[in-house]
Every structure is written in C-alpha cells, then in structure tokens.
Chain A
C-alpha cells in the first residue's frame, strides 16, 4: 500500500529534470481530452439527468446538482488527502517534490472547495429553505464544516507567504498542512456529530446514486472531475512548461460550459415562470394545473384535452406514502400552458454549477501554470 501511494505521488510530481516538457505536453493533452468528456457529460446531466421524483421542497430539477456539486466536493477532499500524505512525506524525507505536491494539491483543492460552497448554498436556498432566487446560508453542520475546511487551507497559503525564509516556510507550512487535514474527517462526521443536519449522510445520498439510471453517469462524472483535478495537480507540481495554446483551448471549453449554462437558465430571462403547486391527472394525462408565478400570483390552468406529463413517471409515491403527480414542484413556463404545452425549466442553481465546473477547470490550469513557473 505504502509503495502504491509513493508511486502515485511520484507520478503526480515527477518532472524536475529533462523530459519534463514532454511529460507536461502529455498531461496537457490529457487535461483537454478529459475536459471535453466532462463538458459533454456535465451538459447532458444538467439538461437531462435523472432526479429524485418528489423531494419535499423546491424544484426536483435542483437535485441535478447531485452530478455537479458532489463530484466537486469529493475532488476537493481527494486533493486535500494528497496534500496531507505529501506533507507527512515531506516532513519525513525533506524531498522538495513533496512540498510542491502539497502546495499544488492544496491550491487546486481550494478552487474545488470554493465551488462546493457556492454551488451548495445556491442549491440549499431552493431545496432546504424554499427561497427560489438567491443563496442561503443556514449554518448546517456540513456547510459549516466545509467552510472551516476552506478557511483552514486558505490559512496554509497565508502561513506560507508570511515566512520569508523558504526552508522555514516549507517546514512550518507542511506541519500546518498535516493539521489542516483534520477538517476533512470533520466534514465527514458533521451530520452525525451534530444534533440535527439538513445535509444527508453519504449512505442516504447513496441510495439514490445506486439507481441504474443514475449510477453509471454519476460515476463517470466523478471520474472526469477527479481526473481533471489530479491532472491539474500533476501539472502544478511539474516544472518548466507553459500552457501556450492549451490555455486558450481550455478557456474556450470553459466558455462552452458557461454558454450551456446560459442556455439552461435562459427561461429565467425570457419567460414568465411558475411553480406547479397542484395537478390533476386523467387517463394518464394532466388535465389541470395550479401554478404560482415567481411573483406570487396563483394561476389555474384547465387543459381541453389531457396533456402527457413531461416528467416520467407521471405519478410517484412521495416519502410518507402519499401518491402525487410528479409534475408537482417543478418550474414551468407559464405562457405555453395556454397552448396546452408544459415546458419544465431546470432550476437556475444547476446552471450555476455547470458554469462553475468550467470556470474551476480553467482556474485549476491557470494556477497550475503559475505554480509551475515557481
């Protein structure tokens, strides 16, 4: 096990001498390829991903954040683990390569942790608080623990920058990097340590992720995000390379994430939207809807003929055993309802997460390039 970890870390950080440029070129090419795959997956999941059919509050589509927010969070935890192991190895061996790995993984980990905080508070506003626009911070134990984790690693860079002597800075900051990792178990333990938590434990969330329509796509998304993050760390820990044109390619891909996010969120700018509060079904089709617009106006819509539900399955058993039409809770465009069309709109927090996924990848590459320059 120890050997495997050492080989893995050496692979991440090797490239001090000759051949480093060739290695960096391969890593950069891989970075782009993985990012293209991640872009395709992310866009598909944000637009078409399966979600829990009848959550207690807010738009069910907000739960598509499962595919974007969770991989981000896991990537940051994985990178902080690399940082922890590398810091111990640096303290034990004094090899400079491990010090670079600590810095690289903590820096890229911070980017992903920041993304986790922003996307989490946008999702929580909808699914925990029922506040349809804006962000929310409820001091949920898991939220608090991720904030502590973020701050702990931010302090690592403050310590590092505040000590002028490089050797001393490396030693003290690596001692601190070992200690900062204590916040990772706190993140895991938070929901069970606290009296009550709105955040599900891993076991609770896993019940949904194991579903056949979710598991392969979720696993693929976790893999691509992890691969992007680890490639960025490998690049950051290498020396003597420049991103060159790849920088612009990755910026283009980040722009593609943002454009897809704008398209996903466009109904918020172009249409009148409302939440479905109640629905009646006849012969498997929807015959009437009660919709509350974002401005709080209630609208009753009666359809001349039953309209097929755009949400499949059309009827679900909600927690507590209550059966309800699965369209209830969804955001719909109000205008087309008069023409007998039901257009479901994805919650804006998913678009935000999609955009941030691209921005994070670009930020990780730019940080890596900056660190590689020394």
Chain B
C-alpha cells in the first residue's frame, strides 16, 4: 500500500475511533435515567429523566411521604391532571416540605420499570408553566434526592397505586418538541 492510501486508511480508523468516543461522550453526558436514584446512597442534586406514569381515573388520591424524621400527608385537589396531582399538605412533620402548602406530584418511570415520585412546589409550577401546564411524556428534572424518603400514592379507597423514592424538584427542564407541531403565530 502506498503512503497516500495508508494515510487515508489511518484517517478513516481515527474517524471511527472519534465517532465511538463522540457517541460514548454524548450518551454518558446525557441525563441520567430516573432508575439511577435507586443506586444512590447519599443525598445528591441530579438531573434525571423519566417517562410520566399517568394516574388512572379515580375520585382522588392521597400521598403519604415517609422521611427519616417524620411523615407528611397530602390530598389531591381538583387542579390535578392525569399526568400529575396537585396535592394539598394536610399533615406535615417533614422540614423538606415546608416551602409550600401544595405540591405537584409526578410519577416518573425509568427504563428499569421502577418509579420515583417527584414533588414540585405547586405555586412555582403553576406560576412558571401557567394554569394548564403541558407535560411531555418524557420529563427532565433538576432535583434533590435524599435517602430515606419514600412516597406512597393511594386512591381515596386505600388502594396503593405507586410507591418509590422521593425527588424534590428544583426545576423542570422543558423540551420544545411539542412546540413545533403548533400553529404559527405572529405579532402585529
């Protein structure tokens, strides 16, 4: 093989290596799956993504949160949707839930099939995303995980629907995928 051909072959091999490195870097720098919280042993602030698990139709839901130093009880309100509950705090011994008296409660399912329960201050959620927020099927959240916090979501008649570790949401990162399906608007 002459020198020029050798150089091209070398370049192509290097291209393949860089492609592998690039794909690996993008894959590993992407958002962690919500299942990753199951392997955490210490408090952590993390950005995770998960599929929204929709709430089956029911007259109402009760959310019970157990923490290392107490328990909180929340009851769903009519502002809830199938993608999230807006739940009012009716009893609270947890200092982590003193920021608001209502929380948006999301159930995020990871690729392992397990779920985590994400709690976001309802005032902030509604203030930021409006009265009828649109929630994508896949949600990316910036949240705090603290070991020892678990949530159980029951229907009013006491049937357990979901249970999982708790994530306290700092912010929801919104994808703009849905936006492009919309009507085009103009100002003027």
Residues of A within 8 A of B (CB): 48-57, 60-61, 63, 87-88, 91-92, 94, 127-130, 138-141, 144-145, 148, 152, 171, 174-176, 178-183, 185-186, 189-190, 193-200, 204-209, 211, 213-214, 277-278, 292, 310-313, 316-320, 322, 324, 326, 328-329, 344
Contacts and interface: CB of A to CB of B under 8 A. Distances in A.
Interface in B50-70: none
A138 B181 CA distance: 24
B157 interface: no
Interface stretch (B37-45, B114-122, B127-135, B158-166): B127-135
Given A176-B14, A208-B181, A138 B8 contact: no
Contact of B173 (A128, A141, A312): A128
B185 A195 contact: no
Contacts of B130: 277-278, 324, 328-329
Given A183-B18, A310-B187, A91 B26 contact: no
A152 B14 CA distance: 13
A51 B184 contact: yes
A127 B172 CA distance: 11
Contacts of B127: 277, 292
Nearest to B7: A91
A198 B174 contact: yes
B15 A178 contact: yes
B11 to A, nearest CB: 4
Given A128-B173, A129-B171, A195 B184 contact: no
A88 B176 contact: no
Given A51-B185, A60-B185, 17 more contacts: A48-B186, A50-B186, A52-B176, A52-B183, A56-B133, A130-B129, A141-B29, A144-B30, A145-B26, A178-B14, A182-B19, A182-B22, A193-B23, A193-B26, A194-B27, A198-B140, A292-B127
Given A53-B185, A171-B7, A186 B23 contact: yes
Interface in B1-33: 4, 7-8, 10-12, 14-19, 22-23, 25-27, 29-33
8 contacts: A127-B176, A128-B176, A175-B7, A196-B175, A204-B180, A213-B186, A320-B135, A344-B187
A73 to B, nearest CB: 15
Contact of B26 (A144, A317, A322): A144
A328 B186 CA distance: 13
Given A213-B186, A310-B188, A312-B185, A197 B179 contact: no
Contacts of B32: 195
B89 to A, nearest CB: 22
A200 B134 contact: no
B176 A55 contact: yes
Contacts of B128: 57, 130
Contact of B18 (A55, A60, A180, A211): A180
B180 A207 contact: yes
Contact of A195 (B22, B111, B180): B111
A316 B25 contact: no
A60 B142 CA distance: 23
A61 B132 CA distance: 20
Nearest to A49: B186
Given A130-B128, A141-B26, A328-B130, A196 B31 contact: yes
A314 to B, nearest CB: 9
Contacts of B4: 91-92, 94
Contacts of B30: 139-141, 144, 194-197
A208 B177 contact: no
Nearest to B33: A195
Given A56-B176, A198-B173, A204-B177, A186 B26 contact: yes
A92 to B, nearest CB: 6
Contacts of B187: 48, 61, 310-312, 344
A322 B132 contact: yes
Interface in B80-128: 111, 127-128
B179 A55 contact: yes
B138 A196 contact: yes
Contacts of B155: none
Contacts of B133: 56
A319 B185 contact: no
B183 A317 contact: yes
